[in-house]
Amino acid sequence: MELIRLDLVFSYWVFAWYLLYISSITLFNPKFALLIGLIENSAYLFLMIYFNNSLSKIILFIIINIFIKIIPFYTLIKTKYQIKDVISTFVLFIIYIFWLKINNKLDVNLYQYLNKIYKSITENKSDLPLTNYLERVMKTIYNGK
């Protein structure tokens, strides 16, 4: 299993944007991007449950998303996003695509990418960095090593 680096996962880019926003380093509100991420991750969660992923993977998925999407979205619930914020989401995504290209990680088309996600869910695999790390920590704690 090839572990994906943090910088190759768009959700972590959005979380970094959120941190910059709440630190007043940027004026562009990431609320729209977080909303899209929550919708996408709700679909992933449904698929994980449907395909009987292990309870530990589902719980880790939920915990990670609570911290990188739900809490950030909740803290922004009273803010309003504007068209500039929506455009910023797409600009960040384009920059992310260029980052993937620079790192030679843009060698798949959309169908292959979606198929990889589907396969990861249906085969109960963890190839995302934070999920993988937390699984290793839990195994270490559980096994006492």
Please name the residue ranges forming H helices in 23-143.
Answer: 31-50, 55-65, 71-75, 83-102, 110-122, 129-143
User: Angle at the Cα of 138 (from 132 to 144), degrees rounded to 5?
Assistant: 135
For 144, phi then psi, to 5°, come to 70, 25
Extract the tokens encoding 97.
Answer: 């695509």
Residue 74 CB coordination number (10 Å): 11
Least confident span in 31-40, 63-72, 87-96, 120-129:
120-129
Burial class (CB in 10 A: 0-12, 13-18, 19+), 94: exposed
* pTM confidence score: 0.82
62-115: per-residue pLDDT in tens?
Answer: 999 999 999 999 999 999 999 999 999 999 999 998 888 888 877 666 566 667
131 within 8 A of 64, measured Cβ to Cβ: yes
7 within 8 A of 99, measured Cβ to Cβ: yes
